Amino acid sequence: MGYVEKNLMPDEKILFIGKIHWVIYLFGAIVFVVGLVLPLGIVKTLIIIVGLFLLIKAFIFAKTTELIITSKRVIAKFGLIRRNTVELNHNQVESLNVKQGIIDRIVNAGGILIKGTGGSSAPIPSIAKPLEFRKEYFEIVENNK
């Protein structure tokens, strides 16, 4: 949780931590398994390499993404080499939208789009329990009024 803990304001507390859902590994795992079952050849090797690349990319995304609700802000941090952060004070958040497809609803995953005043937004893909994240956010905002 390095970035968020280092950048907390005085008397600010972490109240909720969002997690990335395991579904981000699914496509890479499918590609990898397809590569394993193919007969020997260059195509098999290439598909296995692509599957491994996708799995590593998903792992890095999961480990370098922080989704935090604090007593004062919502913070989303992405990236390993090129860091992208969105920090919105609670009074700057206009809406928090949840987007779920059929598979997302089955596995309790989904994307969240946090829209702030002035046109800023933070799309957060593949979060675990997105409805719980939204509910926690609104409860925290209501309790901090």
Architecture per CATH, 13-143: Roll (2.30)
pTM for the whole structure: 0.82
Q: Around Cβ 77, how many Cβ atoms within 10 Å?
A: 20
Domain residue ranges in the chain = 13-143
Confidence of residue 97 (pLDDT cuts 50, 70, 90): very high
* pLDDT tens digits, 41-94: 899 999 999 999 999 999 999 999 999 999 999 888 888 888 888 888 888 888
**Strands across the sheet with 73-78, in order?**
14-18, 66-70, 73-78, 84-89
